[in-house]
Amino acid sequence: MANNKLAEDLVQMHAALKSKRRPFEAFWKEISEYMLPYPLKFEKGGDVTPQDIRPPNEIIESTAREALAIFSAGMLSGVSNPSSNWFKFQVATTGPEDNINEQPEVATWLFYIEDLIRSIMISRNYYGQQVAEYDYLGTIGHGTMLIDANLKDKQFIFRNIPPDSVCIAEDSSGFANVVFREIQMTGAQMIERFGEENLSKDLRNQIGGSNSAKTQMYGVVHAVIKKDAGYKNLMGKNQLTYAGYYFEDQTNHLIEEGGYNTMPYIVTRAFHRGDSAYSHSYGGMVLADCKMLNEMKRLQLKAQQVGIAPPLLAPQNKLLLNFTFEPWSINMYNKHDGIDAQDFMPLPISADPRMIDSGIAAYEAKIHAAFNVDLFLTMKQRTAGSKGTPTAQEVIALQQERAQILGPLIINLQQENFNRTHSRIYDLLGTMGMVPEPPSALNGRELELVYLSPLMMAQQGLNATTVMAAFTELTQTYGTIDPEVIDNFDLDKLARFTAKLKGIPNTGFRTAQEVEALRVQRAQQQQEQMQQMQQQQVAAALPDAYAKTTKRPEDGSMAQTMMKQGG
């Protein structure tokens, strides 16, 4: 009975979340029809129809889809490139004197964790799912990624969830702490995943009716709810941070109860709205432009058809009918004094197709600008424009410009996506016993992520460039007046700070003790070299000095030894 009450509460909560999502649905569906490979479908159930997998027939242009493809590919290569080490772990330091990240055993352990997570992401197709995430961020404004694992086989699962399957709520800090996901499964999959005995009687009867029923689709909802004070009636029986439930939305039947240490659904918003759990997007900004462009291309196509197969004028000795401008059409006109071949003629249409071409180019440019196509294709456009291949410095400047424009989106990706993604993966690794024992120096210390992708490094590069420029200006301005001005700067700390901003990994730094030992050794070598030089100079001068006297060096004396060394 308690399970029935819990299921009823979950069904009511799901309905409430869907009602909050409903005002966005028509808008998102229209965006998806113009921009996504597959239109969104908010009413679940039933067989897949042709309308579910292709845009409506009235949409004949694909500029936004092409722009989105460039945007998503550019974001993957510029922000989370699988071929580069785009992130690293480090220990949160307590101050400038804290060099824990430079300790060899700490740096080695951190590098192992980084390498382990990278290999998991590549082998389990994280990046293929992340491209779809960028598609939804660019068009709808939010995306959801499921990160889970088969604990028995120690295999990770990464799966992008379309926005039409997800309802979310957030806590007072704006974190998505509630996710309801609608799942379509065949009857056979339902039995395999949950066990026939855990399904409702109604569903068991439907699935067991015939073999064909086992291939039909049935709906189930997965709810994950953080155990905050506002959801006391939904906290479940376990002590985990998040409660997890599978239930049948139509029958108020609870199928399975579980939980999670960390949120398995990573919800990312491109531009977080203050009055909603959802987000606005680049796609929403240019939907009207997409509609206008579609109509202009339709008009252009019709103009081309009319130019190739214009409507004709044909004489007749009857009542004049309505005119039509459709290609291949025939318009009859009244003529009483005989008909011959020259009376059949094309209908004169006065129009300048260049006006349509310029309008199309303008709307295409607006759509490209919204998805930052120009930024992602800067190198190609520069080369195509006969401006030559950019220099290394110009490439850095172009990356920094791109990072500035994409700054708000990149910040949200760091906070809502990447930080939580790595936290979730690390938690699952710990659950599966795949995290080696950390060094004792890490006891009580927190880990943090640093991002090293080209776009994120370009943002940090702006800081490094500012620091270096300020230092150069100060030393050149004041150093010429008083060279001792440079004593105000700790060059070792300044060099390490700028090197880290430039992306030098912790494993590339010597420890402070190693640097000190190296400098002591160098000073000793320099001192020994100076002593040798002084001895050689003295030895070279001794023969001349003794030549001016009648006394020779005594046998076995230092002077005799030095004279022999000097030749």
User: How does strand 271-272 pair with strand 217-226?
Assistant: unpaired
Alpha-carbon span 157 to 120, nearest angstrom: 10
Alpha-carbon span 3 to 564, nearest angstrom: 102
Distant-in-sequence contacts of 317-324, Cβ < 8 A, 24+ apart: 323/347
- At residue 1, the pLDDT reads 47
How many other C-beta atoms are found inside a 10 Å radius of the C-beta of residue 491? 9
Alpha-carbon span 77 to 18, nearest angstrom: 35
Distant-in-sequence contacts of 464-472, Cβ < 8 A, 24+ apart: 464/498, 464/501, 464/502, 465/400, 467/494, 467/497, 467/498, 467/501, 468/498
Over the stretch 363-405, which tens digit does the pLDDT of each residue have? 999 999 999 888 787 666 655 555 666 666 666 666 666 667 7
Residue type, 213: A
C-alpha pair distances (Å), 164 with each of 41, 135, 161, 242: 6, 14, 8, 23
Alpha-carbon span 127 to 129, nearest angstrom: 5
Over the stretch 273-319, which tens digit does the pLDDT of each residue have? 778 899 999 999 999 999 999 999 988 887 777 776 677 666 666 65
HSE-up (13 A, CA, CB side) for residue 334: 5
Over the stretch 217-252, which tens digit does the pLDDT of each residue have? 889 999 999 987 766 666 666 788 999 999 998 888
Residue written as token pair 């376990």: 238
How many other C-beta atoms are found inside a 10 Å radius of the C-beta of residue 93? 13
Residue type, 21: R
- As given in the structure block, the two tokens for residue 94 are 């307590």
- At residue 468, the pLDDT reads 73
Find the distance separating the first CA and the last CA of the chain, reported in whole Å: 108
How do the pLDDT tens digits run along the chain, 567 residues long? Answer: 457 788 889 999 999 999 999 999 999 999 999 999 888 988 765 556 666 677 788 888 999 999 999 999 999 988 899 988 899 899 998 887 788 888 889 999 999 999 999 999 999 999 999 999 999 999 999 999 999 999 888 999 999 999 999 999 999 888 999 999 999 999 999 999 999 999 999 999 888 877 888 888 889 999 999 987 766 666 666 788 999 999 998 888 999 999 999 999 999 999 887 788 999 999 999 999 999 999 999 888 877 777 766 776 666 666 555 666 676 676 676 676 766 667 667 766 666 667 788 889 999 999 999 998 887 876 666 555 556 666 666 666 666 666 677 878 888 899 999 999 999 999 999 999 999 999 999 998 999 998 887 776 666 665 666 677 777 777 777 777 878 777 787 777 777 777 776 666 666 777 777 888 888 888 888 888 888 887 777 666 656 655 555 566 666 666 566 555 555
Going by C-alpha positions, the residue among 110, 103, 95 that lies closest to residue 513 is 103
User: Cα-atom radius of gyration of the chain, to the nearest Å?
Assistant: 36
245 by Cβ neighbours in 10 Å (0-12 / 13-18 / 19+) ranks as buried
Going by C-alpha positions, the residue among 257, 256, 258, 253 that lies closest to residue 200 is 253
User: How does strand 330-334 pair with strand 176-186?
Assistant: unpaired
Residue 182's beta-bridge partner residues? 221
H-assigned helices in 195-259: 201-208
Residue written as token pair 């990356």: 399
Q: What is the pTM of this model?
A: 0.77
* Mean pLDDT of all residues belonging to the chain: 82
Hey, CA dihedral for 281, 283, 284, 285, is it positive or negative? positive
Angle at 475 between CA 474 and CA 477, to 5 degrees: 65
- At residue 58, the pLDDT reads 86
19 by Cβ neighbours in 10 Å (0-12 / 13-18 / 19+) ranks as exposed
Residue written as token pair 């808008």: 27
Residue type, 317: N
CA 406 remoteness from chain centre = 11
Asked whether 163 and 136 are in contact (CB, 8 A), the reply is yes
- At residue 485, the pLDDT reads 76
- At residue 192, the pLDDT reads 92
DSSP state letter for 417: I
Alpha-carbon span 298 to 60, nearest angstrom: 7
